[in-house]
Structure 1
Amino acid sequence: MDLKTLNRIDRLRRLKSRGPKTPKWMKPYHLLFIAFLVLFIFGGFIRFLEQNHY
């Protein structure tokens, strides 16, 4: 086999081993992290308000 064929096989193998593509909305992980942080803080705030109510 010549070098061209070997390179093509190698490229195909590498593409296959990459696994499932990440969906576009998952790409910005920092946005996901900030969203969870906001939810966490919001939950704590609601809990705090509930404690003060009684």
Structure 2
Amino acid sequence: MDLKTLNCIDKLRRLKSRGPETPKWLKPYHLLLIAFWAVFILGAMIKFLEQNH
């Protein structure tokens, strides 16, 4: 095996060990935004349901 193939195998092995890449929308900052919106929407729904009673 020449150096080129060995480098290729090494690169593949390193890519595998790193694991799956996290999607951009799952980064912590975006998670906080999603959580905030979820709480906001839930609060609005609860207020709306209380109004109907």
Structure 2 length-normalised TM: 0.58
* Percentage of identical aligned residues: 15
Question: Partners of 1:26 and 1:18 in 2: how far apart?
Answer: 13
TM-superposition CA deviations, 1:19-43 (whole Å, max 9, x none) = 5x41x33431011011110011000
> What are structure 1's unaligned runs of at least 5 residues?
none
**TM-score of the pair, normalised by structure 1:** 0.58
State how far apart, in whole Å, the 2-side matches of 1:25 and 1:39 are: 19
1:48 maps to what in 2?
50
Structure 2: any 5+ residue segments left out of the alignment? none
RMSD: 2.7
